[in-house]
């Protein structure tokens, strides 16, 4: 299985999907797990295939055991799918690095961006939750440019201005911009304490609408 010394992030590629300038979509655990829920719904509805696993010493130091008693370390998962309009690389996963390990967040994001650039990604969409005291199904947008932000406000999102976006959802977008990529963050309003399926569904619905993804 090659070098699996686990001293640094390790990509295990299961197959190499053929995608032309795919859109990269990230949805990892976070506030209300909104991003992860939306990403998983997208994996299902686009029948995306798992093509790469990412293991890392920055992910938690436990193993996960499934219903059959089989264990595996926590990981990130990259899925590939193609609709009639667009190819997607969808990232979701079991956990994020510890909130205390800031450099781990930077390193994981850099590795992920290196990886998706090899697949020709030029546009990224990060999904997450926005903690609000009175969430009402709304989806907020922040972007790498004013034009992009305005585009998505026109499509029905609310502008997220004067704030911060925590973790991979924010940092991936910020670091992507530094590399010359474009993209946006879609944030579902959520109380953020518990897993919020409704907020995840709101983000997913907005996403499928703007990308013209058929759902039944």
Angle, CA 30 vertex, CA 58 and CA 63 arms, to 5°: 45
Burial class of residue 132 in the structure, from the number of CB atoms within 10 Å of its CB (0-12 exposed, 13-18 middle, 19+ buried) = middle
Q: Does 175 bind a second copy (CB under 8 A)?
A: yes
Q: Does 15 bind a second copy (CB under 8 A)?
A: no
The binder of a second copy chosen from 177, 182, 195, 205 (CB under 8 A)? 177
Q: Does 7 bind a second copy (CB under 8 A)?
A: yes
The binder of a second copy chosen from 16, 18, 44, 72 (CB under 8 A)? 72
Count of residues touching a second copy (by CB under 8 A): 64
Q: Does 186 bind a second copy (CB under 8 A)?
A: no
Q: Does 21 bind a second copy (CB under 8 A)?
A: no
CB 129 within 8 A of CB 111: no
**35 CB-near residues (< 8 Å, 6+ apart):** 26, 27, 28, 29, 126, 127, 128, 129, 169, 200, 203
Q: Write down the least CB distance from residue 214 to a second copy, Å.
A: 29
How far, in Å, CA of 172 to CA of 6, rounded? 22
Q: What tokens appear for 113 in the block?
A: 């961006």
CB 92 within 8 A of CB 27: yes
| Region of 85-93, 160-168, 190-198, 202-210 interacting with a second copy (CB under 8 A) | 160-168
Closest Cα partner for 127 from 73, 57, 190, 53? 190
The interface with a second copy within residues 110-149 (CB under 8 A) comprises 110, 114, 141-146, 149
Binding mask 31-70 for a second copy (x = CB under 8 A): ------------------------x-xxxxxxxxxxxxxx
Q: Does 107 bind a second copy (CB under 8 A)?
A: yes
State the residues that interact with a second copy by CB under 8 A.
1, 4-7, 12, 55, 57-73, 97-98, 100-107, 109-110, 114, 141-146, 149, 153, 159-167, 170-171, 173-175, 177-180, 185
């Amino acid at each position: 299985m090659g070098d699996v010394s686990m001293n640094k992030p390790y990509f295990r590629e299961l197959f190499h999907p053929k995608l032309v300038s795919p859109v990269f979509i990230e949805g990892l655990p976070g506030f209300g797990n909104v991003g992860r829920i939306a990403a998983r719904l997208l994996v299902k509805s686009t029948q995306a295939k798992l093509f790469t696993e990412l293991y890392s010493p920055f992910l938690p130091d436990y193993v996960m055991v499934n219903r059959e008693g089989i264990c595996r370390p926590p990981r990130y998962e990259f899925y590939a799918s193609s609709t009639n309009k667009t190819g997607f690389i969808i990232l979701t996963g079991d956990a994020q690095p510890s909130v205390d390990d800031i450099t781990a967040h930077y390193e994981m994001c850099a590795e992920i961006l290196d990886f998706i650039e090899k697949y020709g990604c030029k546009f990224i969409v990060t999904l997450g939750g926005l903690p609000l005291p009175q969430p009402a199904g709304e989806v907020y947008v922040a972007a790498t440019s004013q034009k992009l932000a305005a585009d998505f406000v026109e499509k029905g999102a609310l502008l997220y201005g004067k704030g911060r976006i925590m973790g991979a959802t924010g940092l991936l977008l910020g670091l992507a911009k530094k590399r010359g990529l474009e993209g946006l963050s879609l944030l579902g309003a959520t109380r953020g304490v518990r897993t919020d399926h409704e907020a995840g569904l709101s983000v997913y619905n907005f996403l499928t609408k703007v990308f013209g993804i058929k759902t039944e």
